[in-house]
Amino acid sequence: MFKGLKVGITGGTGSLGQALTKRLLAEEVREVLIISRDEYKQRIQMALNRGKRVKYSVCDVRDGGGLAYVTRGLDILIHAAALKHIPTGEEQPFETVKTNVLGTMNVIQASTKNRIKKCILISTDKGSHPINLYGATKLIGEKLFIASNVDNKTKYSCVRYGNVIGSRGSIIETILIK
């Protein structure tokens, strides 16, 4: 399905981004572009993926111009970047909105501008009847993606998942520690 394609992942240094990278490499993609604002985590991943078809770009989804620049030439863009820790979102709501809503709008604009064929939003079960800011921002992101399918060459899709074993900040991690 992905063979020969160039795929980008925002938030690519996160738990899910790393798992997606491994999977995409197994699917024989032409190239995986990791887009992340975390230069340190990129350095760690570079060591693990040395010699593989993985490239890295330091870019924050909050930077629309930078995002449009680094996503040129992609076939598919997977948007996994988010501020996902619920207490942080409640304590710093402006930061959460800037990343999860404005960052998502930047992803849509970059995808449209660069005529990326498919753009996929990684959302969460917290977006269904949200009870906190994180869930609300992910629901807004889903609505923005769905609305972007009107009169657009890029196809926008959303997927939701629950807690992922091994991801940072997961409730499963909290339960296992206790």
- In a 10 Å sphere around its CB, with 0-12 CB exposed, 13-18 middle and 19+ buried, how is residue 35 labelled? buried
Ramachandran area for residue 129 (φ above 0: left; ψ -120 to 50: alpha; else beta)? left
Q: 51 or 22: whose pLDDT is higher?
A: 22
Using 50, 70 and 90 to split pLDDT, how confident is the model at 39? Answer: confident
| CA atoms lying within 13 Å on the CB side of residue 78 | 24
**And the tokens for 62?**
């909050």
Q: What angle do CA 151, 120, 26 make, to 5 degrees?
A: 135
Query: Could you read off the pLDDT of 81-98 as tens digits, one per residue?
Result: 999 999 999 999 999 999
Rounded to whole angstroms, the Cα distance separating 70 from 142 reads 23
Q: What is the pTM (predicted TM-score) of this model?
A: 0.89
Report CA 162 to chain centroid distance, whole Å.
Answer: 15
Q: 164 or 56: whose pLDDT is higher?
A: 56
Q: CA-CA distances (angstroms) from residue 20 to 68, 81, 98?
A: 22, 13, 24
Catalytic residue among 6, 41, 55, 126: 126
Query: Could you read off the pLDDT of 14-32 as tens digits, one per residue?
Result: 988 989 999 999 998 999 9
Per the annotation, the verdict on 126 as an active-site residue is yes
pLDDT at 167: 55
Q: For residues 22-50, give the mean pLDDT.
A: 89
pLDDT at 45: 82
Domains annotated on the chain, with CATH? 6-177 (3.40.50.720)
Q: For residues 26-39, give the mean pLDDT.
A: 93
Predicted confidence (pLDDT) at residue 72 exceeds the cutoff of 80: yes
Q: Which range is least confidently modeled, 35-49, 68-82, 94-108, 156-170? A: 156-170
Using 50, 70 and 90 to split pLDDT, how confident is the model at 47? Answer: confident
Rounded to whole angstroms, the Cα distance separating 70 from 131 reads 34
Using 50, 70 and 90 to split pLDDT, how confident is the model at 58? Answer: very high
pLDDT at 108: 98
Predicted confidence (pLDDT) at residue 121 exceeds the cutoff of 80: yes
